[in-house]
Structure 1
Amino acid sequence: MSRTLVLTAHRSPDDSRINKALIAALRPLPNVTVHELMRTYPDYQIDVAREQELLQTHDAIVMLFPFYWYSSPAILSEWQDAVLTYGFAYGSEGNKLHGKPLQLVVTTGGNAQAYSPEGYNRYPVADLLRPFNAMANLTGMDYLPPHLVQGVFDMSDERLAQEVAGVVQLVQRL
């Protein structure tokens, strides 16, 4: 059975109803490691050796984060800068991530219509996530279609339960 690493990146993890529910549902799954970057590195001092070991000991990688200013929270960007180094993640000998699936699970405050050519954000979220696709390409990872949980600002408890169940199924299939 494959092992999945779920990297969560929320700048205020205690304040997020949606991300807390997703993490609570994923944490007890067998062969799933939920790794909360902001709780582990509140000072942004990333332990590169530890993070690279986690990546090597897992078969699939999930990045779970809220969409902030058309990107990920700063802690995930810092993690990428520090951990995905030349010789480890890319370069002539940087093949440690080759073939591993990369699944993004992204929450947005706005609904799907807000992220359309007619919406106030003008672009679909998938287009705005292209830097992650490029990162996966450079590191040899298999970039899977992003899973979006949209319209979280006014999400009902019933819909939240459905979204959580969908993310659990997605992670279990990896």
Structure 2
Amino acid sequence: MKTLVNVIHPNLEGSSIVNKRWTEELRKYPEKFEVRNLYEIYPDGKINVTEEQKLVEAHNKIVFQFPIYWLSSPPLFKKWMDEVLSYGWAYGASSSYKLEGKKIALALTTSADEATYSDKGAFKYTLKEFTRPFEITFDWIKADYKPYFAFFGAPHTTDEAILKKVEQSAKEYVSFAESL
């Protein structure tokens, strides 16, 4: 069964070297990954909840790929969770836990380096601590939340050494998604 990858980047083609490259790499394996760009699918922000729920139900492994955006996710992901993970479908009555046992992971990019995400860094907390609300949410709905995959120091330049790091991360990301 394919892994569903929901890419949630408001400007994937314009400003994201890493997320764009990761998406390109995943799309080389259509037999393994169903890759969807939620900002492309929902440019007006109006989410087709029924369609999204059907897709989630049809997959046992789901990755949400996005840049850290003001120390959280882009707003469309929050909206997606608010609407798709509804009472009576994602949680509530015993028969409503549609994500129960499904493997869920985050694939994250951040322009800050890893040291910035530490108790001594500018943000004072680790990336794991910033992603705790996602972990709690997916635990609440009985999904099998997995550790995230992250790229720290996402570039805004095309320096050769940095591009090599991005290329390596794309290969590692595919391996990460396959191993869920």
| Sequence identity percentage | 34
Question: What code does the residue aligned with 2:6 have?
Answer: L
| 1:11-34 CA-partner distances (Å, limit 9, x unpaired) | 111121111100000113223110
1:17 corresponds to: 17
1:161 to 154, 161, 167: 167
Unaligned runs of 5+ in 2: none
| 1:46-82 CA-partner distances (Å, limit 9, x unpaired) | 0001000000111111010000111100011111111
Question: What code does the residue aligned with 1:166 have?
Answer: E
The alpha carbon displacement at 1:147 in A equals 1.1
Q: Is the 8 A contact 2:100 2:143 kept in 1?
A: yes
The alpha carbon displacement at 1:3 in A equals 2.0
The alpha carbon displacement at 1:94 in A equals 1.7
2:152 corresponds to: 150
Unaligned runs of 5+ in 1: none
> Following the alignment from structure 1 to structure 2, what is the Cα–Cα distance between the partners of residues 34 and 103?
14
Matched, 1:81 2:82: yes
CA RMSD of aligned residues (A): 1.1
> Following the alignment from structure 1 to structure 2, what is the Cα–Cα distance between the partners of residues 37 and 9?
5
> Following the alignment from structure 1 to structure 2, what is the Cα–Cα distance between the partners of residues 153 and 159?
10
> Following the alignment from structure 1 to structure 2, what is the Cα–Cα distance between the partners of residues 137 and 151?
29
**Structure 1 stretches of at least 4 aligned residues deviating more than 6 Å after TM superposition:** none
> Following the alignment from structure 2 to structure 1, what is the Cα–Cα distance between the partners of residues 86 and 27?
28
| 1:68-105 CA-partner distances (Å, limit 9, x unpaired) | 11110001111111111111111113211100011111
TM-score (norm 2): 0.93
